[in-house]
A and B are shown apart, each in its own frame.
Chain A
Amino acid sequence: MEWWRHFVAAVLPYFSLAFFVAGLLYRVLYWSRAPKHLHWELFPYPHTLGEQLKEMLTEVFTLKSLFLHNRRAWLPSLTMHWGIYLLVVWPFLVLAGLPLAAPAGKAGGVLALAGSLLLLCYRLARSEVRRLSAPVEYLNLLFIFALALSGLQSGFLGDAGAVRSYLLGLARFTPEQPPAGYLAPVLLAELFLIYVPLSRMAHFAAKFFTYHKVKWGELHR
C-alpha cells in the first residue's frame, strides 16, 4: 500500500491543484471570450469600481440577496460560506505560522459542517426546493460535509504544526508523508479541488461574469 500513500500524499496534491487552476482558467477564458452581447443590464447598478467592490463584497460576505429575498436559506448558507472562506484562508495562515491558524481551521470546519448539514435540511424539508433539485445538488453538499467532517474528526484542521511541515514539504517539492490519519482529509481535499471546476461549485467564477458583464452592464447613467 506504500505506493498508494505516496500517490495521495505526494503526487495527487500537485495534480489536483494544477487541475483546479487549469479547469477554472479554462472556464474563465471560455466566458471572457464571449462576444459582446446587447445591453441587458438591470437598473440601478453600481458604476464606479468602489461601488462595485462594495456591492460585491457585501454580497460575498453577507449573502444579501438571500437575506432580502429568501431568508430561510440565508443563515444555513451564510454558515456554510463562512466555513468555506475560513477553510480557504486556513492553509495560508498555517504556512504563515500564525497562532490563529488552528482555531481558524477548526472554526471553518465546524461552520462548513453545520452549514452544509443545514442546507441539506433546507433542501430536503422545503418541498418546492426539493423538487427543483437534481441529485448533484445533494452530492455537492455531501462532499462539503464529508470534507469538513474528516478534517475535524482526524484532527487535521487543528494540527497546524504537522500540516505546516507537510505543506512546506510540498512547496519545496520534497513531499513528506503526513501522519497516517490525515490521508483521508488530504485525499478528499484533492478530490474536491478536481471536482470544483467540473461542477457548479465554480459558481464563484461565474458570478463575476453574471454581475460584471451582464447585470451591471457597462453603461454609465
Chain B
Amino acid sequence: MSAAVKKVFDDYRVLSDEALQPEKPRVKEFLAAMKKSLQRDNWTFWLPYVLSLEACMKCGTCGEVCPVYQASGRKEIYHPVYRADMLRKIYKRYFTWPGRLFPALVGAEDLTEEKLNALAENVYRCTVCRRCAVACPMAVDNGVIVREARKILDAIGIAPEELKENGTAKQLQAGNAPGINTAAFLDMVEFLEEEIREARGYEVKIPVDKEGAEYLLMHNAGDYLAFAETVMGAAEIMHAAGADWTLNSPQTGINDAVNYGVFYSDAEFARIIKAQVETVKRLGARVLVVGECGHAFEAFKYLILRLIPEKERPFEIKSILELIDQWIKEGRLKLDPQKNPEPVTFHDSCKLGRLGGMYEEPRRILKAACADFREMSPNREMNLCCGGGSGFAIMEKGNFLEFHMETYGKLKAEQLKATGASIVACACSNCKAQFREIIRYHKLPMRYAGVSELVANALVR
C-alpha cells in the first residue's frame, strides 16, 4: 500500500481516498441512510436484515466456521460478530429505545467518523459467503448485515471503484463490465473459432446475435479475456448437442451475465437485471443460459423472482450446468471419462451451492467426464469460500490480494492439497480468478478448469 493511503482499519484498504473521503464528515448522512434502510420500503432484504440485527445471542458459533476469522489466527476484528456489531451498535444507539436509554448495558455506541471509516473497510473483509448463517443456531445472517451496510455506504457515495465505476456503471454503458466493444467482441469470437479448429481439428461455428435462437448463452464477459477455455468449451458442447444457440454482442444490449449490484446495491442490481432481461427479450431466445458465473446464477435464478414479474420475463433461465447435466442424461452428449484421466476435485462456489442449491448437477457431470473424481472436504453447504466472492476476485488494489490469499486462500490451498487432485474444477468466474492466484501464491502443483472445459475435452464425436 502506498504511504499516501491512510490506515483506517487494518493493513489493507479496499476503498480509495476518493471513494471513502476519510476526512470528510459523513456521520449525519450515514445515519439518515441507515434510517431509510430500516424502513419497510427497503423490502428486498428487510426481514433477514432486521432479524439478524436483533437476534444474535453472541454465542460465537459463527466465528468457528468463518474462513477469514479462522485463517487470520482468530483476529478479533475479523470475527463475524465484531463486524456485524459495528453496524449493530449504531442500530441500537440510534434506532432502539433500550439503546437510547441504557447504551452501556446493551452495547450501543455513538457513531464517529473514525468508526465509519473502519466499518466501511471491514464490510469488505467478508465475502457474504453465508457459511456462518448455515452454522448459526439462530440462523442470524452476518452476510446480509454486511450487504446492507454496503448498501448504506453506497447510498452516501462510498463504494469500491471495481464494483461501481468500473463495474455496474460501465456494464450499463458498454454492455459488459470489461468494456469490450462489438468489433473487438466479434474478433474475439473469430479467434476462439480458430483456436478450437487448431486444438481439435474440426469446425465449430459460434453464432452471434442470432435472433429467435432457442438458447441465448450469456457468459461472465470477463471469461472472454481471462477464461477463454470455458467459453470455447461451452461452444463445443452446444455444437455437439446440436443446439440452436447464440452468443450476443454488446450491440444488442447487455452481453455480460455479471451483476455486481448483487454485492453492494439493490438499485444497481435492479438496473442491470432489467437491462439484461430486455436484451434477452429483444433477441427472442426461449432459454437464457447463464454461463459459469456463480452470482449471475443466483441473480437470474432466485433474486429476479420477486423483482421482475413473471410475465415480463417470457423465457426460461438455466445454468449451463443444468443443461449439460440434462443433455448427458438424454444421451445428447456422449463423454469418455478416460479423456480426463487426471484426478479432479470440485469446488462448490457459495453462490451456486449454499445460495443456489446446485450440488448434484456438477458432480454428476464431472463423474461422467472425468475418470478420477474426488470430493474435497468439507463440501456442499459447508464448503469454504475461496475468497473471490462478492467481488474480491477483481479487487486487488494495494495489497488487498494478499488479504484474500492469506485468509480464505490459505485455507482453500490446504483443502485443495489434501485432495491430491491435479485439477480443481469450478463453475464460477470469481472462483477461477481466485484459484488462479491461490495456485500461484501458494505454489500448488495443480491447475483450475471450468466444468465446460472438462466436458468439452471428454466429448466423443
Contact = CB atoms under 8 A, between A and B. Distances in A.
Q: In the complex, which range does the number of interface residues on chain B fall in? A: 35 or more
B263 to A, nearest CB: 14
Given A38-B307, A43-B359, A132 B51 contact: no
Contacts of A214: 47-48, 51, 139, 141
Interface in A65-118: 65-66, 68-70, 73, 77
A44 interface: yes
B139 A210 contact: yes
B461 to A, nearest CB: 34
A35 interface: yes
Contacts of B353: 43
Contacts of B359: 43-44
Contact of A200 (B46, B54, B144, B305): B54
A43 B357 contact: yes
Interface string B88-102: 000000000010000
Nearest to A34: B47
A24 interface: no
A77 B105 contact: no
A2 interface: no
B364 interface: no
Contacts, number: 146
Contacts of B354: 42-43
Contacts of B46: 34-35, 37
Interface stretch (A11-19, A133-141, A163-171, A181-189): A133-141
A143 to B, nearest CB: 13
Nearest to B380: A44
A129 B85 CA distance: 13
Nearest to A69: B135
B59 A206 contact: no
A126 interface: yes
A198 interface: yes
Interface in A166-221: 198, 200, 203, 206-207, 209-211, 213-215, 219, 221
A68 B305 CA distance: 33
A41 B85 CA distance: 23
A208 B355 CA distance: 20
B143 to A, nearest CB: 9
Interface stretch (B74-82, B331-339, B437-445): B74-82
Interface of A: 31, 34-44, 59, 63, 65-66, 68-70, 73, 77, 123, 126, 128-129, 131-137, 139, 198, 200, 203, 206-207, 209-211, 213-215, 219, 221
Question: Which 3 A-B pairs have CB atoms at the shortest separation, nearest pair first?
Answer: A134-B107, A43-B357, A35-B43
